[in-house]
Structure 1
Amino acid sequence: MWLVSQPNSVILEVKVDPNSIGQDCLEKVCEKLEIGAEADFFGLRVSPGSGPGRWLNLRNPLDPHRIPGGRLDLRVKFWVPPHLLINEPTRHQFYLHAKLDLTEGRLVVADLEVARRIIAYIAQAETGDCDPDLPPTHIYEECEKIGPQCEKPEDHMDKIIEYHCEIAGMGASQAEYRLLKEISKLESFGEELFFCKPVTLSNNAHNLYSHLLYHRQQAEEPRARDEQEIDGGATVGCLTSGQSGGGCGCKLSTCVGVGPHGIVVYRPSCFGEHEIGVEKQSIAYTAIHRAQPFRRNFQMSYVTDDGNERTLHVKMATSGQAAALYRAVTEKHAFYCCETVRTDVTEQFIRDLKGTIASIFNDSTTLGRRYVFDIQRTCREVHDRARRAAHAALPHEPRRPVARHAGAEHKEPRSRSHSGCGEALACRACMDAPIDTLFLPCRHVVCCGDCAPRCERCPLCRGEIEKLMHIFLPCDYPKSPGLVK
């Protein structure tokens, strides 16, 4: 029996076989929540009593000895903009996790007006339309940490009520979508932080982002550094007690943020009242050449804007944190940036002692094999898979006749037998009928006879279409009503 907690503190009981892997547990949870088609956005997180939490590797067997109390947390692992989410239950789970991060200070909003809108969306989703005489002040107080943590103006609460009244009549699902749309514009959206020193009350994500917002110094590499290695063993206090002048009072160590577009290295450097800030260095995934963990060190070579190759060494608190950082960089790069996950990522594994001995006699044995990564699909593949599942759930409707360009003959669809060509021959517009129309003059073949006349430009090269030509492919296309299998 495994206990899986949702972001709203609702706990689900999940029963799986003793030899099951983490993916089996996640699939059962997602099946209960009706988010199975988009389960790849989520992960199971182990939150021990002390130390940072870690993502459960879903491809490995569930180990009760490494999961305290058999308790796991269902969390969003890969954040995507809300327009890429197909199913409403998935958007609801994204909303619950976003609300948790906002109210607990892990997702910081810099603009006060944006914070007020977000609070109004939360109140609309939770309580419905606002009654000006009896506003839901308990929701507003619960969202106190949303926005800049400075002294609020006197009309702050009145502005929130005004925003809440403006969106009267908005449904709960639409309010949740608007909130997700707002946070998707934040600079730290989808960023997972790895601190070199353990996370404490004075060294956490909220303090880091608040530090950046307070000082408004977010320039990329404001001063040159000679050293190549970052030792996160020390913390830097920003004008703490005993010093003169204003300050945010934070005390931070170096950390690395891994997001959808690349990694960001945050290095606090506070020297006094007139020189305070966080040095922020961004490295895009396209610039990374190689990354690997070595004990407590995370090493990465990358190419700078001027074409020179440099190496980044970050010393983490533990070897486990260095390995977790390496895993996050690899998985997020594959999910957000790649067309498909390469086999050298999916097949990377280590063995325990029994497996190592067994592999001497049989190298292909799976005994004692523990996979390093659990990434299975990319963002595009997850979206396409969810769209197919949603399309299969709808009743198949007959196609309406469409006006065709001159010179394009009307052909009735031919019955086809299953010969194994599969999805590669599906129309890229409707994903239902086979591709059978050639665009001229660019000569691309991507659409069926019904979708091609609706295109003014080629979906691939964006060239103008002058003529359509029906073609016959040498391989049959397996067509079933309403679904490409």
Structure 2
Amino acid sequence: MLCFVVLPSGIVYDVCVGQKSKGQQLLEKICELLGLSTELDYFGLKYVKGEEELWLNLRNGIEKNLGEVAKFYLRVKFWTAPHLVLLESTRHLMYTQIINELKSKKLKPNGDESKKRIFSLICNSESQDCSWSVEKLRFWAKLFDQDPKFEPETPPRKKAVEEYWVLKEVSKFENYGEELFDIKGMKIGIGPHGIRIYSPKEEMIPYSAIKSTSSLRRHFELHYINSDHIEDVLEIKCCSVASASELYRSLTERHDFYSCDTVRSAVTSQYVRDLKGTIASIFNESTPLGKKYVFDIQKTCREVHDSARRALYTPVENKPQTKQQDAEYRLAGIIDSFTCRVCMDRQIDTVFFPCAHVITCLDCAPRLEFCPVCRTQVEKFNKLFLPQIRA
């Protein structure tokens, strides 16, 4: 099966996977190509179904109704603080996606000072590209209401360093890391700290205030404790079943990723069955036929960072040497022991008297008054004929 994977930069990779492959295998392949394997848990694959953008469930098979050639979008699914990201390649992909979200006004600075700082940092970073132009400068100046006559406040720094500081500034935005849902006049953002309702009435519901959530067909229901310490219910009727499931899944996965020490078994074990699987389960309850997992989160924020550090900074164990490697190592040691200790170039061929040590060549011997090994005064030296050693 041929899959096209589009990066935030617009570059398209074609990846071949088996007909029965799961989404995790596709993600692992593309992350290996990009050098992101150590931190692949931050990423996910999106696809378009109808007019909706949905996250591919990595624990299930790639959906057959996507066609023989499937198109996916590699995106950051779980955002974290920039200083917790260890790979430069991961930070670069995050930076590219941030630039796109700033252009589309999905991310908005908190105030005038924030606009000024982010404008300066982006110009410092983007001006290092050969495609930088006056038109791009004017675009960013208009977007952030700044003077297009840009003068950098800091001396030029490495591109990767500039990208890090852009991420650092954007991480201070209120809506950083939020996944937005526009549902019938309601705008909801699910982020690292909870649910933010933008319209019709702005309200913030932290994860600690949530009692329970449920999803049934197109209906999503959230029970929580409001600011007056009274239990309240948020009921949303979504446009489709997929939209309601996506809202329920996004909330549950983000709660576990940001707020829990480990992913709960109640989350990893949830699944549904299709009609064929339901009939088969009547006769055999443990059959995997038609089983589809609801959530695909495998690690929390702490676990991703910890496993990445272990993979990057744990010393690699010495592999057993082959016979040829062992012989080459021994030969190198023998050649080194027959090399002049002074010039480290020619072979030893001189014996000192009276100590009888042999450590130099005939050209270096006259320069020594004392033997370097035993510090005995050299009274005389003679040439010594040893077998020639060649590498």
**Structure 1 equivalent of residue 30 of structure 2:** 29
Q: Is the 8 A contact 2:47 2:72 kept in 1?
A: yes
- Paired letter, 2:232: R
- Paired letter, 1:359: S
Identity across matched positions, percent: 42
Any idea what the Cα deviations from partners look like across 1:263-296, whole Å, max 9, x if unmatched? 012223xxxxxxxxxx211111111111011222
Going from structure 1 to structure 2, the CA distance change for 1:368 and 1:388 (only over 3 Å counts) comes to same
Q: Is the 8 A contact 1:35 1:87 kept in 2?
A: yes
Alignment equivalent of 1:324, drawn from 215, 221, 246: 246
Going from structure 1 to structure 2, the CA distance change for 1:286 and 1:110 (only over 3 Å counts) comes to closer
- Paired letter, 1:22: G
Going from structure 1 to structure 2, the CA distance change for 1:294 and 1:175 (only over 3 Å counts) comes to same
Map 1:14-163; keep pairs closer than 5 Å: 14-48=15-49, 50-66=50-66, 69-128=69-128, 136-143=133-140, 146-147=143-144, 152=145, 156-158=147-149, 161-162=150-151
- Paired letter, 2:41: D
Alignment equivalent of 1:381, drawn from 285, 299, 303: 303
Q: Count the aligned residue pairs.
A: 316
Map 1:157-306; keep pairs closer than 5 Å: 157-158=148-149, 161-162=150-151, 165-197=152-184, 253-268=185-200, 279-306=201-228
Shift in Å, 1:108 = 1.6
Any idea what the Cα deviations from partners look like across 1:111-155, whole Å, max 9, x if unmatched? 34433432333333333299xxxx8423324436643xxxx46xx
Shift in Å, 1:60 = 0.5
Map 1:331-480; keep pairs closer than 5 Å: 331-392=253-314
RMSD, aligned CA: 2.2
For 2:10 and 2:99, the matched residues in 1 are separated by 12
Going from structure 1 to structure 2, the CA distance change for 1:4 and 1:283 (only over 3 Å counts) comes to same
Q: Is the 8 A contact 1:40 1:382 kept in 2?
A: yes
Secondary structure (helix, strand or coil) at the match of 2:45 reads: strand
Answer 1 or 2: which has greater helix percent.
2
Q: Is the 8 A contact 1:4 1:11 kept in 2?
A: yes
Q: Is the 8 A contact 1:257 1:264 kept in 2?
A: yes
For 2:115 and 2:265, the matched residues in 1 are separated by 43
- Paired letter, 2:158: G
Secondary structure (helix, strand or coil) at the match of 1:38 reads: helix
Any idea what the Cα deviations from partners look like across 1:415-447, whole Å, max 9, x if unmatched? xxxxxxxxxxxxxxxxxxxxxxxxxxxxxxxxx
TM-score, normalization by structure 2: 0.76
For 1:23 and 1:143, the matched residues in 2 are separated by 37
Q: Is the 8 A contact 1:296 1:318 kept in 2?
A: yes
Going from structure 1 to structure 2, the CA distance change for 1:280 and 1:394 (only over 3 Å counts) comes to farther
Going from structure 1 to structure 2, the CA distance change for 1:336 and 1:395 (only over 3 Å counts) comes to same
For 2:16 and 2:263, the matched residues in 1 are separated by 30
For 1:359 and 1:331, the matched residues in 2 are separated by 27
> Greater shift after overlay, 298-307 or 60-69?
60-69
Shift in Å, 1:69 = 4.7
Shift in Å, 1:393 = 6.2
For 1:309 and 1:19, the matched residues in 2 are separated by 45
Report runs of 4+ in structure 1 exceeding 6 Å deviation: 393-396
For 1:6 and 1:393, the matched residues in 2 are separated by 32
Structure 2: 5+ residue runs without aligned partners? Answer: 319-391
Any idea what the Cα deviations from partners look like across 1:140-198, whole Å, max 9, x if unmatched? 24436643xxxx46xx112xx12xx233321101100000001100001111111113x
**Structure 1 equivalent of residue 6 of structure 2:** 5
- Paired letter, 2:137: Y
- Paired letter, 1:256: I
Shift in Å, 1:392 = 2.8
For 2:272 and 2:221, the matched residues in 1 are separated by 20
For 1:136 and 1:112, the matched residues in 2 are separated by 24
